[in-house]
Amino acid sequence: MSHIREERKEALLRRYGSKTVNTGMGPGRRGPGGFRGPGPRGGIGGGKPKNASATINRLLSYIGKDKYKILFVFACLLGASITNLAGSYILRPVINNLVSVDSSAGEKIKNLTTGIIAMSCIYLVGVACTYLQSRIMIGVSQNALVRIREDLFRKIQRLPVKYHDTHTHGDLMSRFTNDLDSVGEMLNNTMVQIFSGILTLTGTVTLMFVTNWILALITIITVPLLVYAGGMIGKQSRKYFTAQQQALGAVNGYIEETVAGQKVIKVFCHEETAMEEFELLSDDLREKQMKAQFFGGIMGPVMGNLSQVSYAISATVGGILCLTSNFDIGGLTIFTNYSRHFSRPVSELSLQMNVIYAALAGAERVFEVMDETPEEDFPGAIKICAKGNWVKDAQPIKGEVVLKDVTFGYVPGKTVLKHINVTAKPGQKIAFVGSTGAGKTTVTNLINRFYEIDEGEILIDGINIKNISKDSLRSNIAMVLQDTHLFSGTVRENIRYGRPDATDEEVVAAARIACAHSFIERLSEGYDTVLDGDGANLSQGERQLLNIARAAISKAPILILDEATSSVDTRTEKYIERGMDQLMKDRTTFVIAHRLSTVRNCNQIIVLEHGEIIEQGTHEELLALGGRYHQLYTGAVELD
């Protein structure tokens, strides 16, 4: 049974992990946001960061924008390190004076008082330096995090739909939260400790040689052992911290999906299976966290014990030198103190290795997203606008859409659409019908250039859409999807999302077209009612009506209705159809519908099966033909 459990766990990791292995598309599979796209999400990678030095340099470029603040922080660190070392060095004359037989009791008290005052002043300066560097470095690290977070969010907005279709939302959210938190922890603390450790080590080694070169050599001989032990443990720690971050992304992806699909889980009594699958992912995360924390945790004790060995050897040899040579007691005291200074930054840095490796693993995952290829326009792309809606440097269009011999597949070698030819004149209504997975929604995705076609061309008013900027193209296409999505905000703001410059009167007019005005008026604050997350305080039908109103307010000459009325009842659908007639007036409209009663008045109905057009004509023509459409309409066969 254990091998079955392992296979199931690996399958879950592939599905919810951060790396994508695109295995193809089940026909009609619907991705995030309502678009149908490639199906199973991919597997999960492992191992250490691919290029740790490049990741570090990239992180440094973000904090480098505050270089003057960093220089001041460096100066404060230098001051703190010098005061710390100088305060220890003052102990030598004080102790030598106390053990001297030539000094009187009064001189000893005077020298001791002077030494204490001097040490107090020096350490006060060190405290001030430490306070300033901490305050400033927090600001520098938070500024860097803001820049990284903003760059990541901008990149997410510019990535193609294909990327969002093939990556879990939970894993993307994990990069914004867990991974960036790891980076922030490193920038806040570890960067300072690295600088401080280097300065302290440099100063300590220098003063150790000044104090006694024999003891200094004995102490330094143990450095290779410390470096070797730290390197061996760090290598394992880095590997497991990378795996931990990826496992955490998989857990987040599963949680996000199951929380969003709670109703489906309960309807099909899938709770036990969901808990079992979560247990597998959670156990995998626990195992990787235990290994990561173990190797990160043993770093400090191992390095500390090795340092104690060095300290003991130095103290023993130093005592012998005091007895056999002119090495003074004060010198031995400060040397043993410096020996601890020498081992302390090494131990502290070792303890920070788990933070460093977690941060590097997280930063690499963030930069992986940033390095994805964004949506780009072809050179010389032009702008378009609806005729009568003047836009600077834009070419006016009427809305004629032509698909010429279009062939497309989400995955190379798996064709979804084959040689599609469609002509939609301005103002016409074109309907696509067919079985689930026949390629209906894929056609509309291609018109929006969510994906690039493999063969053929798509023209709008004779212009190849590849020569039109994507922003301009999509601003002239309004879409109403089956899967609604409303944003946090008022009803008015959600309707205005389709055209931000619309007036309040236009918002109300759009709501009336969509038959949404009456129910909006019944809300507690009317159009100023604040919606809960994704419109949770509305019914599914009411959410869809707002979605339709959002498209109605747009001045786009091309309209796409992807099963827009599937979420409303038959009575509401009839009201919407009346409004739709006004909504579709003078617009080129593409309709995808399972209810064939909604496409009877279309200028052209296209029947798709297995990615090919098998019938094409008006409602009457197709019925007279007696083919697939006639069978679907009369119920001889059902849409599956």
As a whole number of angstroms, the distance between CA 171 and CA 178 comes to 10
The yes-or-no verdict on residue 139 having pLDDT over 70 is yes
My answer on whether 337 and 315 are in the same domain is yes
CB-neighbour burial class of residue 146 (10 A; exposed 0-12, middle 13-18, buried 19+): exposed
My answer on whether 531 and 582 are in the same domain is no
Q: Which of 325, 353, 369 is the last residue of a domain?
A: 369
Average pLDDT for 506-529: 89
My answer on whether 322 and 427 are in the same domain is no
pLDDT at position 38 is: 33
Q: To the nearest whole percent, how much of the chain has pLDDT over 90?
A: 17
In the structure encoding, which two tokens stand for residue 256, read together? 């996000």
Residue that the structure tokens 């699958």 belong to:
277
3-state SS of 483-521 is CCCCCCEEHHHHHHCCCCCCCHHHHHHHHHHCCCHHHHH
Give a yes or no: residue 546 inside a domain: yes
pLDDT at position 102 is: 63
Q: Which of 555, 582, 604 is the last residue of a domain?
A: 555
Average pLDDT for 287-312: 76
Q: What is the per-residue pLDDT across 95-114, written as a single tens digit (0 to 9) for each?
A: 766 666 566 777 778 777 88
In the structure encoding, which two tokens stand for residue 64, read together? 């480098």
294-298, 364-368, 410-414: segment of lowest average pLDDT = 294-298
As a whole number of angstroms, the distance between CA 83 and CA 130 comes to 11
Q: Report which of residues 130 and 336 the model is more confident about.
A: 130
Q: What is the per-residue pLDDT across 203-230, written as a single tens digit (0 to 9) for each?
A: 888 888 888 888 888 877 777 777 777 6
Label residue 632 left, alpha or beta by phi (over 0 means left) and psi (-120 to 50 means alpha).
alpha
pLDDT at position 538 is: 85
Query: Is the pTM here over 0.85, yes or no?
Result: no
My answer on whether 217 and 358 are in the same domain is yes
Give a yes or no: residue 383 inside a domain: no
My answer on whether 84 and 106 are in the same domain is yes
My answer on whether 406 and 497 are in the same domain is no
CATH of residue 121's domain is 1.20.1560.10
pLDDT at position 15 is: 64
Count the domains in the chain: 3
3-state helix, strand, coil in the chain (%, to 5): 65, 10, 25
My answer on whether 564 and 548 are in the same domain is no
The yes-or-no verdict on residue 430 having pLDDT over 90 is yes
Give a yes or no: residue 10 inside a domain: no
My answer on whether 517 and 600 are in the same domain is no
Q: Report which of residues 129 and 271 the model is more confident about.
A: 129
The yes-or-no verdict on residue 18 having pLDDT over 70 is no
The yes-or-no verdict on residue 265 having pLDDT over 70 is yes
pLDDT at position 179 is: 87
- The boundaries of the domain holding residue 503 are 487-555
Give a yes or no: residue 374 inside a domain: no
CB-CB contact of 453 with 406 (8 Å): yes
My answer on whether 251 and 361 are in the same domain is yes
Q: Report which of residues 43 and 271 the model is more confident about.
A: 271
pLDDT at position 417 is: 94
CB-CB contact of 12 with 281 (8 Å): yes
The yes-or-no verdict on residue 614 having pLDDT over 80 is yes
Q: What is the per-residue pLDDT across 436-468, written as a single tens digit (0 to 9) for each?
A: 888 888 998 999 999 999 999 999 999 999 999
My answer on whether 539 and 575 are in the same domain is no
At 469, the pLDDT band (50, 70, 90 cuts) reads: very high
Closest to 19 measured CA to CA, from 303, 301, 498, 372: 372
As a whole number of angstroms, the distance between CA 429 and CA 471 comes to 24
Residue that the structure tokens 């309409």 belong to:
633
Show Cβ contacts of residue 289 under 8 Å, excluding neighbours closer than 6 positions. Answer: 244, 247
My answer on whether 190 and 295 are in the same domain is yes
Q: What is the per-residue pLDDT across 22-41, written as a single tens digit (0 to 9) for each?
A: 333 333 333 333 333 333 33
My answer on whether 593 and 493 are in the same domain is no
Q: Which of 555, 572, 593 is the last residue of a domain?
A: 555
Give a yes or no: residue 57 inside a domain: no
Number of residues assigned to the chain: 640
Average pLDDT for 471-485: 84
In the structure encoding, which two tokens stand for residue 303, read together? 């390095």
Q: What is the per-residue pLDDT across 581-610, written as a single tens digit (0 to 9) for each?
A: 767 778 899 998 777 767 888 899 999 998
First to last CA, the chain: 37
Q: Report which of residues 46 and 628 the model is more confident about.
A: 628
CATH of residue 515's domain is 3.40.50.300
Q: Report which of residues 58 and 386 the model is more confident about.
A: 58
pLDDT at position 640 is: 53
pLDDT at position 228 is: 74
pLDDT at position 33 is: 36
Average pLDDT in the chain? 80
Give a yes or no: residue 179 inside a domain: yes
DSSP 375-414: P-PPTT-BEEEETTS--TTEEEE---EEEEEEEE-SBTTB
Residue that the structure tokens 């309709």 belong to:
591
Cα Rg, the chain, nearest whole Å: 35
At 151, the pLDDT band (50, 70, 90 cuts) reads: very high
Give a yes or no: residue 39 inside a domain: no
Q: Report which of residues 449 and 349 the model is more confident about.
A: 449
Give a yes or no: residue 376 inside a domain: no
